[in-house]
Structure 1
Amino acid sequence: MTHTLHFACESVAADGVRSTRVLPVVPRRLIVAGWTGRDRAAIDHHIEELQALGVPPPSSVPLYYRMGTSLLTQAAQIEALGAQSSGEAEPTLFFADGQWWLTVGSDHTDRQVETYSVAVSKQLCAKPVATAAWRWSDVAAYQDELQLSSRILEDGRWVDYQQGTLATIRPLASLRDGIYDAVPEEGSIMTCGTLGALPNAKGEGIRPAAEMEITLHDPRLHRSIVHRYAVQVLEVVA
């Protein structure tokens, strides 16, 4: 079954004038890129983070997980079975109208299932994605300056959960070209990795939350793409 996503896509002309148009996108192929840190120490930190939850280390770096396109959603709420899932902000590329666009998404994952299969854990959860995007060619030259962050609703207040720049992630074009053809199919989508979680006062890193807000900020053009979603926990019945 196919569904359509809609993105308000912003382009920047040579004279600096911005224009926005809404593009409908029917997802045809979804790739979740994992272990995409540019710095090996950062990769090792994320591996250790997940190993603390019982997740085995990756077989290679980076890894490309093929996911069902039906998982993608722009809704303000997703449903998750049990209370052990959590999200993570990721720069997300998609191919539409003959070119690549950049937005922000969340690779929401079942952390319990992740302890025995990362691929299955990712396939079990919806993948929220924002409703706005920037033309990739407009930001590619300074992608390292783009700021990626997230907040979660924890104990009744919003707290910072992730914070950093895309300089800590492998160049997005190299990740994209590692799996997609030079001229990909319309509706090709890739999430490109994430940042480590900031620990709370209890020292907890990766953790579930009732709501999450993900943000991609462009400091040069003073613009941001923001998406917030809530998680409805479904009861696990044996």
Structure 2
Amino acid sequence: MNLSFQTQAGVLNVDIRSLIIAGWAGRDRDAVEHHIEELAALGIPRPSAVPLFYRVSSQQLTQSAAVQVLGAESSGEVETFVFHAAGELYVSIASDHTDRKLEAHSVAFSKQACVKPVATVAWKLADVAAHWDELVLRSWIREGGRDVLYQEGNLASLRSPQDLISGFTQGKTTLPAGCGMTCGTVGAIGGIRPATSFTMELFDPVRQQSLRHRYEAEILAEVE
């Protein structure tokens, strides 16, 4: 999938040919267990291992501000999105938008069922690596006519990209060229629930910069 990012050095065009969703990526086992219990309340089975690396079609990536989803049982979750391009690693944000109804049947199939919105701005990973744990993930959903904080947590609660990359590549220090990986999420405030408007942010308190992206989800009727 061809994606285009605005970077400090200009526009970066990258062809993502392989997409990995790193699941259960929390650094704190108690926090991981909390997220597992959140999903268990929705009937979603426990993972077979922690972390897990789900393979999803790269064609599911989109930078559009408007997406379509089947039925009203899907929801977004903000994650850092690390990818290899032009000889180095970059970081942006993506939403692992997931069909929660299907997730109760198969997590892998549920992740494939929905598109994965991605921001249009990226940073070099090297520019934030030294203070990675201080970066903050946030998301908001539209409820009752206003934006409500849905997720918030710093990256110290999640495994580092280097840790996840090493786990996926069996010890290598970087992703293959054209490979992108989402690196886990933080818990939902008030529980996981669907919304048709989702705003996500990665905030850097050291550099006072943010990556942000908002998308609207059109619900398509389920026809049987």
TM-score for both structures, normalised by structure 1? 0.91
Mapped pair 1:136 → 2:125: yes
Of 112, 116, 125, the residue aligned with 2:105 is 116
* Equivalent-residue separation in structure 2 for 1:95 and 1:128 (angstroms): 18
Match of 2:137 in 1: 148
Match of 2:195 in 1: 209
* Equivalent-residue separation in structure 2 for 1:96 and 1:46 (angstroms): 31
Match of 1:87 in 2: 76
* Equivalent-residue separation in structure 1 for 2:131 and 2:79 (angstroms): 17
How far does residue 86 in structure 1 lie from its aligned partner after superposition? 0.2
* Equivalent-residue separation in structure 2 for 1:195 and 1:206 (angstroms): 11
* Equivalent-residue separation in structure 1 for 2:57 and 2:207 (angstroms): 34
CA contact (8 A) 1:28 1:185 kept: no
Among the aligned pairs, what percent are the same residue? 51
* Corresponding letter in the other structure for 1:218: D
SS in 2 for 1:208: coil
* Equivalent-residue separation in structure 1 for 2:78 and 2:147 (angstroms): 15
How far does residue 184 in structure 1 lie from its aligned partner after superposition? 3.8
Match of 1:54 in 2: 43
Match of 1:190 in 2: 181
Query: How large is the Cα RMSD of the aligned pairs?
Result: 1.0
How far does residue 186 in structure 1 lie from its aligned partner after superposition? 2.1
How far does residue 224 in structure 1 lie from its aligned partner after superposition? 0.3
How far does residue 21 in structure 1 lie from its aligned partner after superposition? 1.3
* Equivalent-residue separation in structure 2 for 1:132 and 1:112 (angstroms): 31
Alignment of 1:17-32 (within 5 A): 20-32=9-21
Count of paired positions: 222
Unaligned runs of 5+ residues in structure 2 are none
Mapped pair 1:168 → 2:157: yes
TM-score for both structures, normalised by structure 2? 0.97
Of 216, 221, 227, the residue aligned with 2:213 is 227
CA contact (8 A) 2:92 2:123 kept: yes
* Equivalent-residue separation in structure 2 for 1:223 and 1:211 (angstroms): 23
Of the two, which has the highest radius of gyration?
1
* Structure 1 residues 183 and 174, CA gap change in structure 2 (3 angstroms): closer
